[in-house]
């Protein structure tokens, strides 16, 4: 038995409240190391002689990563504190116990040597996410390049942007006019990158958080956009760029002008009067996003500054009725600020969705006290490695997703933003070397696996592009440029997603891989979804009950290159 791989800690990964009275307890062990795991538990305070509260329950293996298994059990309790420990049965008859971070050869007798779960504490700290967010499809729009009502020359619109700053005159009216398109595709949430006043085309350097950029439109346009989206059953999310501003933002501008007397000294991290560097590679004398003098970093430790941006977030929730915020550079801003932010936002808008940008394992931010969920870049890494690069095997792909499943709280796991590309990465089609079969498989993965599918505008009609700014090309609107078959495939995938969503949550899910065929299978008690991550064809397994194939080809009992298929059992 691999004792060094066994882990359980009293935190939101391993032990938490699902809803009052129901708790999830998770254990990490070595991979394929155990035959059975049991959870033993009892009331801390009631002596056995008064009432024997001891119980035990079989734990289910819910995920595997490269070197670990993850077991879970749910327990219904009504106690002050629960005491518990684990029983580990190996394949060779070995039987050990894991209690209070220790491996024991016999069950612990002293209840103070067991794990402790204070019920009230864990209930208070329950990770609560908006229920409406379950099984929704997000669509990311880069507003300056998505759609416009202006007269923009087709030649200019479709020219790949040379510089990040190239403006195509996309605007909110353009988006409003295309809501039908998004509705037809099946989108549930429209997420727009920043739309506030800024001198850049990407708008990540905000000059005024209270003004819609004049090139994009007006506050009324945003209100209209949200109302029309809502009337169609869609939600709208905006980009909260609170890590930094533009230098033209009033507080920084005041510092540049009136350093000695400015009342905004504590709004940034300046060492002396700010001097914007004239060339790249010279570090500014103030903290920035990266080292870009054009993006000075706000000091959100300053309560005034923190309150200012929190007020901005509340203002647009109130004024435009938006449904949530995506937090730009979220992982470079302290948990302390995000805790304040969450408290203020959720107090007034408990249903607002808060999604952090982070490119890494995000456990630290997924404790229930800061964000609801994150942009799932680790999903993208795994999917690209497996499908686009073919640099990892099917098993390795499953292991990568297993790591996420085993290490994040089950409240946010189903709403992780599963992306295969964004405005910050080369497009998926580009990464696939233009192979649309591969793109189709990637789309099936993001749309049919647990998580919140996150589509980057244009992927669904075959838009391609390399690294920024090329990944931000003008959206393909002319029918002769769009891959309509691909669009229909996305539509079918989304429809299928909605059909299978009640089944995704049922029972236990299992993910398995067959490295000989390159097939990954995601199964629950009610459905099975297959992803074929290789060239060639493979025979489908036999399943009883109805089944439905969702690739573009006809169903003939085979999975072709990079095809996926879904079955209801």
Q: Is 46 in the site for a copy of itself (CB under 8 A)?
A: yes
Tell me how far, at minimum, the Cβ of 98 lies from a copy of itself, in Å: 11
Instruction: Choose among 352, 398, 57, 381: nearest CA to 226.
Output: 352
Q: Is 381 in the site for a copy of itself (CB under 8 A)?
A: yes
On whether the CB atoms of residues 252 and 264 are closer than 8 A, the answer is yes
Which of 242, 286, 397, 403 touches a copy of itself (CB under 8 A)? 403
The footprint of a copy of itself on residues 329-348 (CB under 8 A) is: 331-336, 339
Residue 328 annotated to the active site? yes
Which of 41, 71, 84, 115 touches a copy of itself (CB under 8 A)? 115
Q: Is 388 in the site for a copy of itself (CB under 8 A)?
A: no
On whether the CB atoms of residues 392 and 367 are closer than 8 A, the answer is no
Using only the alpha carbons of the chain, give its radius of gyration.
26
3-class state of residue 493 by DSSP: helix
In terms of CB distance, is 204 or 503 closer to a copy of itself?
204
Catalytic residue among 69, 221, 357, 523: 357
Sign of CA dihedral 141, 447, 365, 271: negative
Q: Is 158 in the site for a copy of itself (CB under 8 A)?
A: no
In terms of CB distance, is 226 or 362 closer to a copy of itself?
362
Tell me how far, at minimum, the Cβ of 345 lies from a copy of itself, in Å: 16
Q: Which helix (H) or strand (E) holds 487?
A: helix 484-504
Span of 43-51, 207-215, 483-491, 542-550 interacting with a copy of itself by CB under 8 A: 43-51
The footprint of a copy of itself on residues 358-377 (CB under 8 A) is: 359-361, 363-364, 369, 377
Q: Is 81 in the site for a copy of itself (CB under 8 A)?
A: yes
Tell me how far, at minimum, the Cβ of 10 lies from a copy of itself, in Å: 5
- Residue-by-residue DSSP string for 13-80: TTEEEEETTEEEEEEEEETT-EEEEEEEEEESSS-TTT----EEEEPEEEEE-SSEEEEEEEEE--SS
- Half-sphere CA count of 254, side-chain side, radius 13 A: 11
In terms of CB distance, is 370 or 524 closer to a copy of itself?
370
In terms of CB distance, is 210 or 336 closer to a copy of itself?
336
Q: Is 468 in the site for a copy of itself (CB under 8 A)?
A: no
Residue 69 annotated to the active site? no
Q: Is 289 in the site for a copy of itself (CB under 8 A)?
A: yes
Instruction: Choose among 315, 134, 138, 123: nearest CA to 219.
Output: 315
Interface pattern 59-78 for a copy of itself (x via CB under 8 A): -------xxx----------
Catalytic residue among 213, 328, 400, 459: 328
Q: Is 282 in the site for a copy of itself (CB under 8 A)?
A: no
Q: How many residues form the binding site for a copy of itself (CB under 8 A)?
A: 59
Length of the chain equals 569
Which of 53, 56, 60, 100 touches a copy of itself (CB under 8 A)? 100
Q: Which helix (H) or strand (E) holds 233?
A: none
3-class state of residue 443 by DSSP: helix
Span of 54-62, 86-94, 98-106, 478-486 interacting with a copy of itself by CB under 8 A: 98-106
Instruction: Choose among 256, 255, 275: nearest CA to 265.
Output: 255
Span of 19-27, 97-105, 127-135, 148-156 interacting with a copy of itself by CB under 8 A: 97-105
Tell me how far, at minimum, the Cβ of 100 lies from a copy of itself, in Å: 6
On whether the CB atoms of residues 288 and 296 are closer than 8 A, the answer is yes
Tell me how far, at minimum, the Cβ of 402 lies from a copy of itself, in Å: 12
Q: Which residues contact 503 (CB under 8 A, 6 or more apart)?
A: 524, 526, 527, 568
b/e burial code for range 16-45 (CB count within 10 A of at least 16 → b): bbbeeeebbbbbbbbbebbeebbbbbbbbe
Q: Which two tokens stand for residue 447?
A: 């749309």
b/e burial code for range 202-236 (CB count within 10 A of at least 16 → b): bbbbbbbbeebbebbbeeebbbbbbebbeeeebbb
Query: Which residues are known catalytic residues?
Result: 328, 357
Interface with a copy of itself (CB under 8 A): 2-5, 7, 9-11, 30-31, 45-46, 50-51, 66-68, 80-81, 100-103, 112-113, 115-116, 118, 120-121, 124-125, 269, 280-281, 287-291, 297, 301, 331-336, 339, 359-361, 363-364, 369, 377, 381, 403, 407
């Amino acid at each position: 038995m691999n004792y060094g791989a066994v882990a359980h800690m009293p935190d939101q990964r391993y032990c938490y409240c699902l809803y009052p009275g129901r708790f999830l307890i998770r254990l990490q062990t070595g991979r394929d190391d155990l035959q059975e795991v049991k959870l033993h538990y009892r009331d801390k305070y009631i002596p056995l002689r008064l009432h024997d509260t001891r119980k035990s329950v079989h734990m289910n293996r819910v995920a595997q990563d490269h070197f670990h298994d993850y077991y879970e059990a749910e327990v219904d309790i009504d106690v002050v504190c629960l005491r518990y420990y684990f029983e580990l049965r190996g394949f060779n008859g070995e039987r050990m116990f894991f209690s209070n971070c220790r491996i024991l050869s016999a069950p612990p007798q002293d209840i103070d040597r067991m794990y402790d779960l204070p019920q009230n504490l864990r209930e208070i700290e329950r990770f609560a996410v908006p229920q409406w967010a379950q099984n929704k499809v997000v669509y990311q729009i880069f507003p300056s390049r998505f759609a416009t009502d202006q007269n923009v020359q087709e030649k200019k619109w479709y020219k790949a942007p040379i510089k990040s700053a190239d403006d195509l005159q996309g605007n909110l009216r353009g988006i409003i006019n295309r809501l039908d398109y998004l509705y037809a595709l099946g989108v549930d949430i429209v997420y727009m990158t920043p739309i506030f006043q800024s001198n850049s085309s990407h708008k990540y350097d905000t000059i005024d958080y209270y003004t819609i950029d004049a090139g994009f439109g007006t506050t009324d346009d945003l209100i209209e956009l949200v109302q029309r989206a809502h009337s169609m059953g869609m939600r709208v999310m905006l980009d909260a760029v609170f890590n930094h501003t533009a230098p033209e933002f009033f507080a920084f501008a005041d510092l540049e002008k009136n350093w000695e007397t400015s009342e905004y000294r504590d709004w940034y991290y300046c060492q002396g009067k700010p001097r914007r560097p004239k060339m790249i590679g010279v570090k500014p004398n103030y903290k920035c996003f990266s080292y870009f003098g054009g993006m000075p970093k706000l000091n959100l430790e300053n309560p005034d500054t923190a309150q200012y941006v929190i007020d901005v977030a509340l203002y647009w929730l109130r004024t435009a009725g938006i449904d949530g915020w995506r937090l730009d550079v979220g992982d470079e801003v302290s948990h302390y600020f995000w805790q304040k932010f969450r408290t203020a936002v959720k107090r007034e808008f408990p249903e607002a969705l808060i999604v952090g940008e982070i490119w890494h394992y995000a456990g630290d931010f997924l404790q229930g006290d800061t964000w609801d969920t994150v942009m799932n870049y680790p999903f993208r890494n795994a999917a690209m490695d497996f499908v686009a690069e073919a640099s990892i095997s099917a098993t390795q792909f499953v292991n990568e997703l297993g790591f996420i499943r085993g290490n994040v709280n089950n409240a946010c796991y189903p709403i992780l933003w599963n992306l295969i590309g964004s405005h910050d990465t080369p497009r998926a089609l580009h990464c696939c070397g233009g192979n649309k079969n591969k793109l189709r498989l990637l789309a099936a993965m993001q749309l049919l696996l647990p998580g919140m599918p996150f589509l980057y505008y244009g992927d669904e009609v075959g838009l391609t592009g390399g690294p920024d700014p090329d990944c931000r090309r003008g959206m393909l609107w002319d029918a002769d440029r769009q891959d309509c078959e691909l669009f229909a495939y996305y539509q079918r995938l989304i429809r299928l997603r909605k059909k299978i969503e009640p089944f995704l949550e049922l029972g236990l899910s299992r993910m398995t891989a067959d490295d000989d065929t390159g097939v990954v299978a995601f199964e629950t008690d009610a459905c099975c979804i297959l992803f074929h991550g290789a060239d060639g064809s493979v025979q489908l397994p036999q399943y009883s009950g109805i089944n439905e194939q969702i690739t573009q080809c006809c169903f003939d009992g085979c999975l072709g290159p990079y095809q996926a298929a879904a079955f209801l059992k």
